[in-house]
Structure 1
Amino acid sequence: MSAVPIDDVAPRHLLKLTPGVPADDRYDELAGIFRPVFARIAEGAAERDADRILPIEQVGWLNQVRFGALRVPREAGGFGASLVDSFRLLIELAEADSQIAQLLRSHIGFVESVLLLEDEAVKARWFARFVAGQIVGNAYTERAGNDLGKLNTAVEPTGTGWLLSGEKYYCTGTIFADWVAVTAVAPQVPGRHVAVVSTRHSGVQIYDDWDGFGQQLTGTGSTRFTHVPVDTLLDPAVLDVHPESAIFQLVLLAVQAGIARAVLADARLQTQARTRTFSTGTGQPSRREPQVLQVIGEISAATFAVDAIVLAATAELEAAIGQPGLSNAEQYAVCELAANRAQAAVQPLVLQAATQLFDGLGASSTSTRCNLDRHWRNARTVATHNPAMYKSRIVGDYEVNATVPRKLSAVGDLKTPKGEQ
C-alpha cells in the first residue's frame, strides 16, 4: 500500500483551545451547551459587521440557553460556573463575534455585584431574572457637562421609592437588555450610586448613535431617562466591596483574546485556501511558503500569550474576591493591578496580530468583501477603553513607590483653575 501524500492529509490541530488551563470536565460540560450557539453566531458575524446589523436575534439565542446565568449558583437555577470558566467561555464567544461578547460587559459586572450582596431577598430576585434569560445593560458615562468625578444623573425620592432622570452615553448593551444599571447621585448621600431600571419603561429612550469605526454593533449609544422608577438602588457602601472596574476591564481583555483567536483562524483558513503566490517569494504555495508560515506562527504565539495572560489575571481576581485576609481596599488593589498588568501586555499583542494578518495574505485580503479589517478596527476600538497608556504608569508607581491604584470615579470635564481662563 502506498503512503498517502502529506498534502492530501487535513492537518490536525492539537494545540489546546485555552492554554495554561488543565483539563476540566465541568468546563467541557458547559462548553457543550454553548458551543453550538457560538457556531451559529459566528456564521454571520462578518456580514453583520459589514452591513451594520444589530445582533438582536443572536443575543436572543444566548438568552434562551441562559448564558447570562453562568455564574448564578446551581441551587438558584444557574450553572454555578467559576469565574475562570465563565471567562473561558466568554473568549470563545468573542472569537465567534467580539461585538456580542462586549455588549454583555455590564451584565457580567452586575452579576458579580449581585453575588456579593448581603441582602438575600434582593439577591434571590436578581438570580431569578438571570435564570429567566434577562440581561442588564450599562449607562455609566455622561458625554459632557459633568465635572470630573461628578455626575449630573440623579435619583430623587418619592413616597413609594426613587425616580431616575438624566442622560448617558457609551451605554453598551442597553439596546439589547431588559434592565440597565445607571450611575447616579442621590440627595444627602454622597458618592456614586447604581440605580437599576427597566428598559421597557416609557421614560427610557435608547439611541443607537455610536459612530466609532469598530465594535459598531454593541449598542454603545446614548440613553435618556425621564422620571423612571428605580427597581434596585445600590449605594456606595454596597459597591465598595466589589472590584467592579477590574471585572469590566477583564471583559474587554477577553474580547481582545477572542479577536486574536479570530485573526488566527482567518489567517490559517485563508492561507490553506490560497492558490496565488508572489513572484518575489520562493515559488511554493502559500501554505508551504516559509515566511508566510512564520507570520502565521507569530500570530499563533501572540494568541497563545493573550489567552494565557487574560486567564491568569482572571484567576488572580477569583482568588482575591472575598478572600478573608484582605480588606476591601487591599482586594481592590490586587484586582486592579492584575487587570492593569494584563491590559498593558495584551493590547499591543492583539493589534500587532490583526496587522500581521495582512502581511501573510497580500493585497487581495484588503478587499471590503473579505472584511478582514474588522479585526483590527474592533481591537483598536476596544483598546481605547480605560486607556492602556495609563496602566503601565499605575503599575510602575505601585512597584516602585507602593502607591495603590485609586478608586475610579466618573469621567468628566476638567474645571479651568481661576487665573487660567
Structure 2
Amino acid sequence: MTAAVQKLSPTQSGPSRDELLGRIPGLVAEIAKGAAERDLNRELPFEAFRLFRESGLGALRVPVELGGPGGSVPDYIELIAALGSADSNVAHALRSHFNYVENLVLSGADQRDVGAIERVLEGKLFGGAHTEQGTARPGEVTTKIVKVGSTWRLNGRKWYATGTAYADYASFSAVNEAGETVGVLLPVDREGINILDDWDGMGQKLTASGGVVLDNVEVFEHEFARRSLENQVGRHCSTLRQLHLAASAAGAVRNVLSDGIDYVRKQARSAAHSPAATAREDHFVQQVIGEIAANSLAIDALIAEGARALQHTADTFASGDADAIETSLIASTLVTAKAQLVIGQLGPRTAERMFELGGGSATSRKYNFDRHWRNIRTVLNHNPLLHKSRIVGDYILNGTTTHLKEGKVF
C-alpha cells in the first residue's frame, strides 16, 4: 500500500531551507567544543541537543506545502555527516527523529499521528525504542498494553532507546490483548516512563542507547500510531536509517582527519630518524594524512550517492506508481548496502591509521583519539556486514530480492 503525499497550499512560516543550511557550520562548531572530553568522562551532550532544537534543523525534511523548509534527503544526510564530524554520538542519536519525520512527510494525512507535523515544526525531537532483550529472536515483542477503564496501560522494558533521553516524544511497540503488535507515541515525561542511562557499549557511549522501563504508563486513544511500518514508505525509511548510520560514521572519519591535522600541526614531533625538522614536513606523516583525506572523500562520495538514490525514491512516492516506487526502493537499498560495505573497510582502517601520525604520545588519554575507532566500529556493528555482502551478491547473480524487500536488514 502506498500513500501519496497530500498536496496543500504553501504555508511555510519558519526559516527557509537556505537559512537552515546556513546555520549548520556554527552549530557544528559549538557541538565540537569539548567532544573528546565528553566521551572521555561520559558526559551526556544535553547542551548539544538544546542547541539543535534551537537551530530548527529537526524540521529540515518537512516540505514547504506542510509548512516546512523543504530540505532534501541529501541536505539531511550532509547535516548528519557534519554533526558527526563534531560528535558522532549527537549525529547517531538523531536517527529515530529523522526516521519518524521521513515517515510523516511521505505518509498520507490519514496515517499521520495527530499534531505530529506541528510538533516537528515547533522543534520537538522524537525518539523511541522497540527492541527487547532476552527474547528468542530479534524483533519479538513482550511489552504489553491493556485497556483499563477508558485508557490503556503500557508495561515492559525496551532496549536500544537511542536518543530517547534527549527527545520530547518517543514511540514504543507493544502487544495488545488481541495479540496484535501496535505502536504508541508518548511524551517522554509521562509518568511511568523511566529512561535508563545503562548503555555500556565500547563506542557511541553518549547516544543514550540503553533501556527504558515502562511501568504502568497511561496511554490515550489518540496516542496510538496511525501509520504502517510494513508498507513501501516504511521500507524507504528502513534504508534511510541505514544511511543515517553510515553518515554518522562518515562524520567520525572527517573527525579523524581534522584531529589528525590539528595534532600534527600543534603537538606531534618528527620521529628521531626523520630528516624533517617538524612532523608536518615529514614525508611519512604527509602520506598518512593524504591517505586519511582520500578515504574520507571516498566515504563522503558513497553516502552522497546513497542520499541521491533515496531522494529519487522520495520523489517517486508522489507519482503513486507502486511499480516505479518498488524499482527505486530496490535501487536505493542496494546503493546504501554497498556504501556500508565499503565504509566497513575504510572507516576502521582510517581511524587506526591516525596513530601513525605520532609515537607513544598519540595514544595519550587526553587526546582520546581511540574514540574514533570505537565509535565507527560500534556503528558498523548495528547490522551484519557479512549478511549485507551476501544479499548484494545474491541479487547480482540471481536477482533475489527477498531480503531487500523485508525492510529490516538494510
Partner Cα separation in structure 1 for residue 362 and residue 63 of structure 2: 46
Partner Cα separation in structure 2 for residue 187 and residue 341 of structure 1: 42
Tell me what 1:7 maps to.
none
Q: How does the TM-score come out when normalised to structure 1? A: 0.85
Q: 3-state DSSP class of the match of 1:221?
A: coil
Change (3 A) 1:333 1:354: same
Q: Does 1:33 align with 2:23?
A: yes
Q: More deviation in 328-337 or 278-287?
A: 328-337
Report deviation, 1:182: 1.6
The structure 2 residue matched to 1:287, chosen from 260, 280, 284, is 280
Query: Can you give the 5+ residue segments of structure 1 that lack an aligned partner in the other structure?
Result: 1-25, 411-421
Tell me what 2:293 maps to.
300
Could you report, residue by residue, the CA deviation over 1:331-355 in whole angstroms, capped at 9, with x for unpaired residues? 5433322221111111211111100
Could you report, residue by residue, the CA deviation over 1:210-268 in whole angstroms, capped at 9, with x for unpaired residues? 01111111111100113431524145476553222211111110101100111001111
Residue 378 of structure 2 aligns with an amino acid whose one-letter code is T
Tell me what 2:256 maps to.
263
Q: How does the TM-score come out when normalised to structure 2? A: 0.87
Residue 265 of structure 1 aligns with an amino acid whose one-letter code is S
Partner Cα separation in structure 2 for residue 355 and residue 349 of structure 1: 10
Residue 196 of structure 2 aligns with an amino acid whose one-letter code is Y
Tell me what 2:205 maps to.
216
Structure 2 matches for 1:6-405, cutoff 5 A?
29-119=19-109, 122=112, 125-157=115-147, 160=150, 162-188=152-178, 190=180, 192-228=181-217, 229=219, 231-234=223-226, 236=228, 239-242=231-234, 243-274=236-267, 276-321=269-314, 323=316, 324=319, 325-327=321-323, 329-405=326-402
**Seq. identity, %:** 35
Change (3 A) 1:105 1:121: closer
Change (3 A) 1:227 1:116: farther
Report deviation, 1:35: 1.9
Tell me what 1:9 maps to.
none
The runs of 4+ residues in structure 1 deviating greater than 6 Å are none
Partner Cα separation in structure 2 for residue 334 and residue 304 of structure 1: 23
Partner Cα separation in structure 1 for residue 61 and residue 393 of structure 2: 33
Partner Cα separation in structure 2 for residue 234 and residue 151 of structure 1: 19
Change (3 A) 1:116 1:146: farther
Could you report, residue by residue, the CA deviation over 1:176-197 in whole angstroms, capped at 9, with x for unpaired residues? 111112233345475x543212
CA contact (8 A) 1:175 1:219 kept: yes
CA contact (8 A) 1:164 1:195 kept: no
CA contact (8 A) 2:113 2:227 kept: no
Q: 3-state DSSP class of the match of 1:233?
A: coil
CA contact (8 A) 1:274 1:285 kept: no
Partner Cα separation in structure 2 for residue 122 and residue 200 of structure 1: 22
Residue 91 of structure 1 aligns with an amino acid whose one-letter code is A
Q: How many residues are treated as equivalent by the alignment?
A: 384
Could you report, residue by residue, the CA deviation over 1:70-115 in whole angstroms, capped at 9, with x for unpaired residues? 1112344432101111111111111111101111010010101111
Residue 99 of structure 1 aligns with an amino acid whose one-letter code is N
Partner Cα separation in structure 1 for residue 17 and residue 341 of structure 2: 28
CA contact (8 A) 1:256 1:347 kept: no
Partner Cα separation in structure 2 for residue 232 and residue 80 of structure 1: 27
Partner Cα separation in structure 2 for residue 402 and residue 358 of structure 1: 42
Tell me what 1:414 maps to.
none
Residue 226 of structure 1 aligns with an amino acid whose one-letter code is D
Change (3 A) 1:160 1:399: farther
Query: Can you give the 5+ residue segments of structure 2 that lack an aligned partner in the other structure?
Result: 1-15
